[in-house]
Structures are given as C-alpha cells and as structure tokens.
Structure 1
C-alpha cells in the first residue's frame, strides 16, 4: 500500500499576502463570534469593553478586541462545567482530550479539546514536520515521558499521519532511549534542546557512544528557546551530525511556528491557522517593520472547544524578512522566540535577555551544556552570578583562559559584568522538559 501523503499545501502556503490576510480576517471574525456566543468568559470580557463581533470588519478593528492573559484563565477554571469553567464553548460530553500547561509559571491551566480540535493540532504538526523534511521513510523516535502536559503528543500523531514509523520512548530512561535509537536505527527524533544535549552527554560519558555515529538525521526541538540560538544549534548539529529544526507552540495556543528545511534562522508563522500580531513592549503599539522586536499576541483561528483569541503569549519575537527561499509567503520571526517578556529584565539599567547568555556559554569550547544565572540585589546594587560547568575534557585543565574568554564575550554580547563560578562536570541540575536556568531573586523580594 502506498502511504505517501504530501503536507505541502501549494494553495495556502504560497498565497499572495492580500489573499492570505483576507482569509485570516474571515477566520478571525468566525472564531470571535463563536467565542462571544458560547463562552461566558469571552462574552463578559467583550461586553465590558463595549465591543460586539459585528463591529470587527477590518484589520484595524482587530486591535479593539481585548487581549487575554494566562492569569485571567486561572480564576475562571476549576468550576462548572468542571474543570474548565467559563471559557468552555462546547458541551462537556464533546470534550475528548485533556491537557494542561506545564505549570512552570504557576498554577497550570486546563485545556479542553474536541476531536476536531485535536485533528487540528495534529494537522499543525504535520505541516511543520513536512516542512522540515519528515517523510514516510523516516523512523521517528520520541524520547519523552508522555503525561498531561501536551509536550510531544501532537508530534506523535502527526508523525503517524504523514506515514512515518513512530516509536514512543516515554517510559525508558535516557540510556535505554539511546540504545533503542541505535537498535532500531531511528532517523529522526524530537525533544527540548536541553534534553537533546543531555542525551549526547549520556551517550558519550556513560555509554561511550559518539552521538554522531547514530543514524539520526533530523531533530525537531520545542518547549524552550535554543534551537535557533546560533551557538546552541551549532553545538547540537555538530554533536549529533544532524540537522536541527526549531518549533514554537503552547498548550493554550497550538503549534504556531516552525523552521523549514531551508533553515532561514527564523520561524514561519503558520498563518493559515494562526493570526500573529507583534506589539511594542512598552506602548502596546502594533509593530510591522523588519527588525522590530516585540511581544507576540496570537489567535488560534480554528480551535473551538476553548478558544484562544488575542492571547498575550509573552513571547519576544523579531519581525524577519518578507519571504524565505522555500517560497512560503508566511510571516517570519528572526531567531524564533527570543525569550519571554517575563524574563527580559533590567539589570544595572541594561535590558538583559537570557538567550544572549546562552549564546555566549554554548559558543565556548570547554564549557558544558548546563549553566545557571542568578540575578540578585545587594543593597541598591544588582548582581549577576553565572554558574557554568566544564566539559569532561576540560576538567583537569586551567580555567584561566576560559574565564577570560567568557568574561569578554559576556561583556561584548550583554554589556554586563558577572560573578563567574566555573564548576566541575555534572554539578548543575539536569532537565528533561523545560529548563529553569534563569532565576531573578529580586522578583521574590529576597
């Protein structure tokens, strides 16, 4: 049986901008009307703002629609219809999939999906995997512990949908996962950048296997920034001898962004299924020019059980060039998700993005994959402590040159000085899902 299915959509993915934007406006009005008509939460929000869906007839009108933040979802859940509460737009009997956010930013949010919504999730992932070169001949290994967090559930079903042989590695430990990849000759896998690097350390140091000798040719990363940070991408690709692709999404939103096989150093927004706006961090003004950085506000255009309409994702993105070599007309975000608005902070009067520190650490040979940043205040003065690990190869060497290079590059890339702690290998915590390397103790009043 021929199971070849194409997920290159020559109609949607190369639509002229004016036709694509007309489609987005039509879909936006549809999901807005649906949310107003069926969600107690959305209807109250819009009525309080003096807005009705019939008032939205142009792109300029969209800016009148109130935004939704994760904090607004917490008090409306855990009540009837339990556990989703006031944002649910369908009968509870129609909900067939439960997921929740990872909880890394506080109380998790419950996400309801109908079977139609889950098919939409899978379609989003099938689109991005096809764009990254996944084909039916691939054997895809998922080294991930499946649970109530959405993680790579949709990736699993999308891999099956496009015809790949899909191998779940959820209950295995890291060593067993590496050995299973070797045994089955898996050609692709998906995980967070942190875990991909952690797997490489385990392969080399515990199993004495060079990751580059394994048959993996494609790695899709998600869950945290990293796969589009140049030094991190380069490090992963060199260690594994594989192409590394980035993806962006969230439980409340869906799989909205992907890097294609051309590796343009940017994410395509899947604009047939999402409407992405970029706002100035301070003024809230809509940004449209190449090179401008701002906060992502996003709408999932085809998700109905628990709609995502003008959701403040708090992801920081930079508007990229008009078009990629691949021919897609979709909007590009250069460097992917640069960081979180919650993490972009002023230290000694300088705006600091944690991704800039990662780019420096991962670019220096002799430093391991893990690091930790602690921002604190002593009296009226901000302090930054950066803890880094040595590699096994550098553990017995002098750290003077490494420390000097690290100090220079940090000053050059971030305009700040750091208290450096260079530690032996395996001194810092390891993460399988989202890493928590940046700690701002000032926000906790310590």
Structure 2
C-alpha cells in the first residue's frame, strides 16, 4: 500500500516550526523506507552505506542518508527498465507523466511521475499561486511551449484547480501571444524573466503597444534567478505595470519555494512537502544560522514513482534571519536562489557570481535587457568582458554610462571589466533559460 501524501492545506503554512519538523521527519522516514524497499538504485545505495530505514529516528539522523546528485541519477537510469532505470519505485504501467530536465548541464534526467505524483506537483503549485494572489476571477495566460520540459505545466493545472481561467499560448508566436493577451484581457502571466522582457520589448518596439496597459496584474517567474534580483524584478514590474513574483523548482525536485504577496525579500520553503538542508560548500557541514550562503540538499517528501531524497541541487541559498509579515511559518530563504555552485567561479582570486553582474546591469535604465559575460585567459591573466546594449537614445552618453557601469561593477564585485557597447538588438535573445555567462578558460 502506497503512503498517502498530505496535500495543500492552509493550516500547514502556519504550523509552529516544531510541529512542521515532526511532520517532515515522519514523511522523510516513510520516503526512505519506500525507496529502500522498491527502488533498486536507492536500495543498493543505502545497503552499501550500512543504512536501514529504522536508523532514522531524529532530524539529526537524516544526515546518515547518502546524498545523490545529477551524475548518480543519470548513471542509475542506464539500467532497466528503460528509460527510468533503477530509480523507479512503481511498475512502468503506473507511470502517467513523462518529463525531462532541460539538459543545460549535459544529458537530461528522465522524470517518471504517477498520476498521484502529478496531483502532488499541482498541489505544490497551489501553495505558490494562492500566496501570490491568484483567485478564481483571474484569467491566466501561459506563453510557453508545452513540451517534455516541465516548465509551467504544473502551474497550468494548479491554476485550473484554484478555479482560474487558463489560456494556453503554446504554439503561438510572441506577437500572437501579445495580441491574445490584449484581446482576452488576461490578468496574470507566467514565464522566465528573460522571455517576459523580450516579449515586452517586441510589444513596444514592433507593435506600438505599452505592456503596462495590457491589464496584467500579476506575473509569476521561474527558470532563472532574475525575479529575485531586485533590479530585474523592478524592471519587470515597471515594464508590465504588474506585481512580479518569483518561485523556485526543478524537474527532479518539484516546485519547492515561493514568494508571497508581502514580498519580504525571500522565498518561503514549502516545508509541508519538502525538506531543505543547507550545507557549507567546502566542509559539507550543516548551516542552520541565517546569512551564511551554502549549497541546498533537498528531499521531496511525497514523490513516489521516482523519489528525490537528499538531492544535492547545486543551488546556492541562505536562510533569512526573519519571519515573513504574511503570517506563514514556513522558513524563508533570503534573496531566493542566489545562483548555482557550478556558476560561481574564481576570477583573479575573487569569487564571482553571475547574479551580482545582473543586479548591476539591470539597474541602468540606459542599458537594454540583454548582456553577455565572457571570461577568458589572456597571457596567463584573467579578463572579464561584459557586452551590453545601449538604447539608441542613450548613445550620446555612452562614455559616461560605461564609466559609471565600470565603477558600480567594481564596487559590487571587486573586479575590473573590459566593457563593450553593442548595437541594440545585436546580442543573443532567449525564450527559456538564458546562458549569458561564458567561461572560456
């Protein structure tokens, strides 16, 4: 008999932390036992570590359970049954939904979900949308290509579950999507920050439409950290005349955190459905105090067909030192997902995060939405080239803008840059996840 997951419940969002931890421990123990008994991969992993499910008695015991990462999951999927391999905990005929990761870090991971798992996905998204003000009166437009990448699939079904009217804009091109939003008077929108900025630019420059006058009241972002970067969030909100909210999720994990209407500078971790740990990036020791950045290790507490238990996500996060004014007891991570461990690189002896560059570039109104960073080695020295686009009306101020940009970058990142001003519209555009940071060393 399969364990019955606990779905969306507004009371869970206000449970005291001790009660939430009791719930998390009970669910974690259940998931370890489930995977130990049903998954060849997890069963072998735990037996090699000398672990049995009964060893997990306290929250501290959770660290006895071996972590997994993308490389391990990919290897596990090379076995039978195809295509999910030893990760699968249910018979193939119980798999109802196929998704795969975007493959931006190599070979994709195939994700198997039973129908119960897919309901769980949409329930996680119900927390997100309700906290961001979505109600049955909303008409929600989804401007993304419905395909094997999960993207906003679960957001679509959660919006339906909450009673919203859903408008799928999958096969429409950007121009047609804008016209459909205008025609139907949509009130809400979802997308990556990059695509939403490009969408707004096309509306203004090629269609003569002001995105802020299309009637969009709320926007939910995903896929990139931009909506938690203040300068990018401000640019989106100003451009669309709407409140912009962030959330974080991943194909192999689920939708695990969200920003609420109070926008307290962080994301709530959905502790009813996920267990998030933060570890020191060097020592691996747990981080429990606020303000110290570390790597996230996460467990999806209710995912049955293909579990995600102590997954080393490579996401960099930090606990906030406050609770949210909205009244939810779910813990906050300050500033959302701050980047990925494999994106943070040492340049000239200084640790550099691409998000820090984005915060500076997007704070300049004279610069376009797109930019590119190239790090290369020249005569044994590191050089960072930052390519930006200036709006045509700002060209006569180019020298002053680039000087101010260089000063701000040095202040925020402690590094010097070789700056290049490019013709507006000449840098690459992206619809899904943008890849603006290139390390050629």
CA distance in 1, matches of 2:8, 2:273: 14
Structure 1 residue 306: Cα displacement:
0.4
CA distance in 1, matches of 2:64, 2:202: 51
Note if contact 2:8-2:123 (Cα within 8 Å) is conserved in structure 1: no
Matched, 1:22 2:22: yes
Structure 2 length normalisation: TM-score? 0.97
Look up the SS of the partner of 1:393 in the other structure. helix
Structure 1 residue 214: Cα displacement:
0.8
CA distance in 2, matches of 1:160, 1:174: 23
Structure 1 residue 50: Cα displacement:
1.3
CA distance in 1, matches of 2:235, 2:377: 33
Report matched runs for 1:328-339 at 5 Å: 328-339=328-339
1:414 equivalent in structure 2: 413
2:106 equivalent in structure 1: 106
2:402 equivalent in structure 1: 403
1:325 equivalent in structure 2: 325
Report matched runs for 1:115-264 at 5 Å: 115-264=115-264
Q: Deviations over 1:385-434 (max 9, x none)?
A: 1111112432x423001101110000000000011111111111111110
1:431 equivalent in structure 2: 430
Note if contact 1:8-1:131 (Cα within 8 Å) is conserved in structure 2: no
Q: Deviations over 1:76-112 (max 9, x none)?
A: 2144211100110000000010000000110000000
Structure 1 residue 376: Cα displacement:
1.2
Structure 1 residue 344: Cα displacement:
0.7
Q: What root-mean-square deviation, in Å, do the aligned CA atoms of Structure 1 and Structure 2 show?
A: 1.0
CA distance in 2, matches of 1:131, 1:9: 12
Q: Deviations over 1:134-162 (max 9, x none)?
A: 00000000000110000010011001000
1:379 equivalent in structure 2: 379
Q: Deviations over 1:193-212 (max 9, x none)?
A: 00110111101111011111
Look up the SS of the partner of 1:177 in the other structure. helix
Note if contact 2:87-2:307 (Cα within 8 Å) is conserved in structure 1: yes
Structure 1 residue 383: Cα displacement:
1.1
Look up the SS of the partner of 1:226 in the other structure. helix
CA distance in 1, matches of 2:339, 2:391: 26
Look up the SS of the partner of 2:338 in the other structure. strand
CA distance in 2, matches of 1:397, 1:221: 34
Note if contact 2:319-2:332 (Cα within 8 Å) is conserved in structure 1: yes
Q: Deviations over 1:51-95 (max 9, x none)?
A: 111111111111111100001111221442111001100000000
1:391 equivalent in structure 2: 391
Matched, 1:295 2:284: no
> Bigger CA drift: 66-75 or 132-141?
66-75
CA distance in 2, matches of 1:9, 1:115: 20
CA distance in 1, matches of 2:321, 2:216: 31
List runs of 5+ in structure 1 lacking aligned partners.
1-6
Look up the SS of the partner of 1:136 in the other structure. coil
Look up the SS of the partner of 2:335 in the other structure. strand
Look up the SS of the partner of 1:67 in the other structure. coil
Structure 1 residue 379: Cα displacement:
3.1
* Poorly superposed stretches of 4+, deviation over 4 Å: none
Look up the SS of the partner of 1:13 in the other structure. helix
Note if contact 2:8-2:124 (Cα within 8 Å) is conserved in structure 1: no
CA distance in 2, matches of 1:117, 1:322: 32
Structure 1 residue 46: Cα displacement:
1.0
1:273 equivalent in structure 2: 273
Structure 1 residue 261: Cα displacement:
0.5
Look up the SS of the partner of 1:421 in the other structure. strand
Aligned residues: 435
Look up the SS of the partner of 1:80 in the other structure. coil
Note if contact 1:320-1:332 (Cα within 8 Å) is conserved in structure 2: yes
1:4 equivalent in structure 2: none
Note if contact 2:267-2:332 (Cα within 8 Å) is conserved in structure 1: yes
